[in-house]
Amino acid sequence: MRPPDGRRALDVADTEASLLARAQAGDVTAFERLSGAYADRLFMLLLRLLGDRAEAEDVAQEVMLRAWQGITRFRGQSSYFTWLYRIAVNEANRALEKRARRPPGVALGADELQLPAPAALDPSRQAENSELRRALGRALADLPPPLRTAIVLRDVEGLSTQEAAEIAGIGEAAFKSRLHQARLRVRAAIGDEALASTGG
Amino acid sequence: MRVPGRTDDHEWSQQHLSHYVEGDLTLRARRRLDHHARDCADCGRGIRALRALVYATRSLGGLAGVRAPETIFDRARSAGAG
């Protein structure tokens, strides 16, 4: 059974450090176990950034390939998770740039950006929540990629500002500025009345 | 809505609402915004809206039902075998 944060549990003997050492020595199975701990979460991030399941699946494979090819260069200056997420954000941006060069008509699928429904809410709250999820999905899909990355990393993923900025590859001050702009745009898109129903 | 002739720093507060909600402001800056928002309906509403937005995105942002595809390591595996 996987822990609730989406990481697949590692065996006690397979600590991250020992798996990393084996992976850096060329053991692809150790690499899979190491990176597999973050696979679900990483895939969810790609879904949110790309809004297209098929593209997210393709980019997820590319992320793991790049990570495998670069594993010997990982020096532990950040956590492995941060390093892997940074590769994912870079690959998602690369895919979005490629998409922008394609002829128009390939729209970002707002449905993919909708957030999963929480359990155990009464029906009226569920309806409100589901409407809010749709609105959030649409608003996130409409953001320019750098702003979407900021709000997904910080608010949806719940990463610290420092970690999110590192993954986005920018300084903390620049990251905060992007996050601020993203929140203002999403607020404007959703409307204060809808937000007031969240109880937050 | 800004009240004409008001002498506070409304624009500065508007630019720092997100930082305020993050808890990122210095004590002095936080007090400055607190002081302004007490009399400014616009900024008060902004703080409530941004708090609600952060709450909404965080509380709805779980991982229910989403699993990475089984193929996620296919390319790495091929490269590793090659």
Q: Where are the domains of chain B?
A: 7-59
CATH architecture of A1-107: Orthogonal Bundle (1.10)
Mean pLDDT of A27-48: 94
Minimum-distance CB partner of A31 among B18, B52, B76: B76
A126: closest chain B residue by CA: B60
CATH number for the region A111-200 comes to 1.10.10.10
8 Å CB contact of B80 and A28: yes
ipTM above threshold 0.85: no
- From chain A, the residues in CB contact with B76 under 8 A are 28, 31-32, 61, 64-65, 67-68
Confidence (pLDDT) at A87: 97
- Lowest-pLDDT range of A62-71, A104-113, B45-54: A104-113
List CB contacts (< 8 A) between A117 and chain B. 60, 64
List helix spans (H) across A25-52.
Answer: 28-36, 39-50
Angle (CA) A167-A173-A179 rounded to 5° is 70
Average pLDDT over residues A26-45: 95
d(C-alpha A63, C-alpha A59), whole Å: 6
Q: What is the pLDDT of residues A149-197, one digit of tens each?
A: 999 999 988 899 999 999 999 999 999 999 999 999 999 999 988 887 7
What's residue A122's pLDDT? Answer: 58
**Higher-scoring residue by pLDDT: B62, A86:** A86
| Tokens standing for residue A87 | 């590769």
Mean pLDDT for A94-101 is 87
pLDDT of residue A10: 57
Confirm or reject contact between B80 and chain A (CB < 8 A). yes
* Residue with more model confidence, A1 or B72: B72
Looking at per-residue confidence, does A130 or A38 come out higher? A38
Query: Is B12 at the interface with chain A, CB within 8 A?
Result: no
The whole-angstrom separation of Cα B14 and Cα B16 is: 5
Interface test with B, best of A8, A57, A64, A157 (most B CBs within 10 A): A64
Which residues are CB-contacts of B74 (< 8 A; sequence separation ≥ 6)? A61
Q: Which pLDDT does position B5 carry in this prediction?
A: 41
Return the pLDDT at A133: 82
Q: Is pLDDT above 70 for A12? A: no
pLDDT at B62: 59
- Rounded to the nearest angstrom, the minimum Cα separation between B5 and chain A is 26
User: What 3-state class would DSSP assign to A141?
Assistant: helix
Q: Which pLDDT belongs to residue A74?
A: 95
Query: Does the distance separating the beta carbons of B77 and A136 come in below 8 Å?
Result: no
